[in-house]
Structure 1
Amino acid sequence: MTSTALCIGGDLTVRRLGFGAMRLPTEPGPARETSLAVARRAVELGITLIDTAHLYGGGANEELLAEALHPYPDELLLTTKVGIARSGPSGEWRLDGRPAVLRDQVEQALRRLRIERIELLQLHRIDPETPLADQLGTLRDLRTEGKIGRIGLSEVTVDELDRAREIVDVASVQNRYNLLDREHEPVLAACEAAGIAFLPWRPVAWGESGANAEVAAVAAEADATPAQVALAWLLARSPVILPIPGTARIDHLEENLAAERLRLTRAQRDRLDRLTESA
């Protein structure tokens, strides 16, 4: 039986299907109102982890979630990411893990989310131009100050994860991973071995899963959608996986959450497992 809960950092239990807020429109107007409704519906349906980031609208996504959900239910975990800033030559977004930037983005997130502590803060990307010890050391200092509860990483290799773990305790890793894209299989294996939560982004490969004949066939057999099959496969793939599918539509949100009840047979999982063997 696939577990419906996951413990992050050894002490924070959340539901194994989260919600990625990146795709929620934040501009004023009807689309924003729908975004607020989607976020509220996610919590109504029992979602306990919502993922956002400074990058998503330069904090606008964080503000949207605060407007929709504050004051937050005790069981809700809002996780955000820092380390990408508008610090390029022409003000464009670039990797920026300088200590002052990370600290400023954490302070901004605390203010926008209207909280005193970010229970899970992830480094959005490792900045190759800033020593890793400086980047993670800053987050460790913020944790010591009580502004961060746990530290996670995003888009890392096994080697980067190993080096990071020599500096700080790593509670989570957020890498791109799905049924049709398993580039980070070694990272998932490392996370499973260490008991680190693995939050795959782009968990249903958007429209690609439905275009795959084998996925479509399994979906037809299971009376499910291809997206539900992709999510059910992830949940069965490893006990440390916590998918964070995103959507700006309530019907898609409800469809995604229904994947938690889908039980693929061993034969169906074997067929899906083999999809990337010739890739």
Structure 2
Amino acid sequence: MKYIKLRDLEVSRIGLGAMGMSHGYTGSGTDEAESIRTVHRAMELGVTLIDTAEIYGPYTNEELLGRALKGRRDRVVLATKFGLVSHAGAGAWNLDSSPANIRTAVEGSLKRLGTDHIDLYYQHRVDPGTPIEETAGAVGELVAEGKVRAFGLSEAGPDTIRRAHAVHPVSAVQSEYSLWTRGVEDRVLPVLRELNIGLVPFSPLGRGFLTGTIRSADQFDKDDFRRDNPRFTGENFERNLRLADEVKAIAATAGVTPAQIALAWLLAQGDDIAPIPGTKRVTRVEENTAADAVELTAEQLDTLTALPPAAGDTHTEAQQRMLER
């Protein structure tokens, strides 16, 4: 496994997104033992960047990681997120990045994760009700107190990134980025490189679509959030199947899996990028981390880069309103 810097944080080139172990996907929360084995196997393979959030569950994913990392905490760069749970009464899925809410959130996350510090603390979504300067200042106070090592933003736009960074250095921005979601390239990535901020792509495999294993929405449980995702419904689904098949064909020529070629393409976009493919299975974490060794030819890279964008928005209309890109 290779390692890179997200500003001052050294992390594995490929991380692990833990959300699906507890939340959101078909089978989430059904096999804690396998999820814990997956975390341990990832660490054996050199993965150090592990990502969660208080909203995943809510809370149960952080609790799971707390159990998985007991006795191993010092071997990982642990990232979690605040701001999608309002602890003052509005509850889960309500934006709140006020300083008081951050104070409450960090204490809960520290307890659930079984640690005295969070390595990378992200604002999960930009809160229009709280100036980003106040949020950045509050996280800066936590850094000064030793409860947080580094500050991050998720799905933030260029102006928000600049304003936050002017108050307290931003180490990483987490945004959706993959072969079929490339919106960060035009506006966000240039700002990150100007300011020496790392990029942590989530859903680097298109929520599983780019693995080539999804052929029908009937594969999803009723509570799988992909059921109402625009890219997984109607005509969009059929068009995106063809895109997934093209990735699969290119992977076959390279002698790797579709997941590996999608991750290898992402890694080739720069040495300041650390994707966090999510999985709850040992076999998948082994497959994903092996992408670090895949060397694509210039022709393969050009072919992948030239693929058309996916059909449909990345989120539902309500979720789209929380994004800055």
- TM-score between both structures, scaled by the size of structure 2: 0.79
SS at match of 1:100: helix
Counterpart residue number, 1:13: 10
Over 3 Å counting, the alpha-carbon distance change for 1:33 and 1:146 in structure 2 is same
Match of 1:270 in 2: 302
Which residue in 1 is equivalent to 2:234?
A: none
Write out per-residue CA displacement over residues 136-168 of structure 1, whole angstroms, 9 at most, x where no aligned residue.
111111111111111010001112111111111
Give 1:277 shift: 7.2
- Change beyond 3 A, Cα 1:265–1:243: same
The residue number in structure 1 matching 2:258 is 226
Change (3 A) 1:278 1:69: closer
Does the alignment pair 1:215 with 2:247?
yes
Structure 1: tracts of 5 or more residues without a match: none
User: Structure 1 residues 35, 237: CA separation in 2 closer, same or farther (over 3 Å shift)?
Assistant: same
Distance, in Å, in 1 between the alignment partners of 2:305 and 2:194 is 20
> What is the Cα deviation at residue 29 of structure 1?
7.9
CA contact (8 A) 1:219 1:226 kept: yes
Whichever residue aligns with residue 214 of structure 1, its letter is E
Amino acid across the alignment from 1:190: V
Residue 196 of structure 1: aligned partner: 197
Once residues 73 and 117 of structure 1 are traced to their aligned partners in structure 2, the CA distance between those partners, rounded to angstroms, is 10
- For these two proteins, the number of residue pairs brought into alignment is 276
Task: Classify 1:13/1:85 alpha carbon distance in 2 versus 1 (closer, same or farther; 3 Å).
Answer: same
User: What's the secondary structure of 1:54's corresponding residue?
Assistant: coil
Of structures 1 and 2, the one with the larger relative CO (CA 8 A, separation 6+) is 2
- Paired residues of 1:17 and 1:242 also in contact (CA < 8 A): yes
**Residues 106-145 of structure 1 correspond to what in structure 2 (within 5 A)?**
106-145=106-145
Cα deviation for residue 28 of structure 1 reads 11
Per-residue deviation at 1:112? 1.4
Cα contact 1:49–1:78 (8 A) shared by 2:
yes
Q: Are 1:87 and 1:93, in contact at CA under 8 Å, matched by a contact in 2?
A: no
Are the counterparts in 1 of residues 73 and 115 from structure 2 also a CA contact under 8 Å?
no
**Structure 1 residues 90-105: aligned runs within 5 Å:** 91-105=91-105
Aligned counterparts, 1:1-279, within 5 A: 4-10=2-8, 12-25=9-22, 31-72=31-72, 74-86=74-86, 91-185=91-185, 186-209=187-210, 210=212, 211=241, 212=243, 213-276=245-308
Partner-residue secondary structure (3-state), 1:128:
coil
SS of the residue corresponding to residue 200 of structure 1 reads strand
- Structure 2 residue identity aligned to 1:107: E
Aligned to 2:317: none
Report if aligned partners of 2:84, 2:92 keep a CA contact under 8 Å in 1: no
Identity of aligned residues (%): 42
Secondary structure at the counterpart of residue 207 of structure 2? coil
How far did residue 74 of structure 1 move?
A: 3.1
Q: For the Cα contact (< 8 Å) 2:120–2:151, is it kept in 1?
A: yes
Instruction: Report Cα offsets for 1:234-265 as digits up to 9, x if no partner.
Output: 11111111000001111111111111111110
Paired with 1:161 and 1:33, the residues of 2 have a C-alpha distance of 38
**Structure 2, unaligned stretches of length 5 or more?**
213-240, 312-325
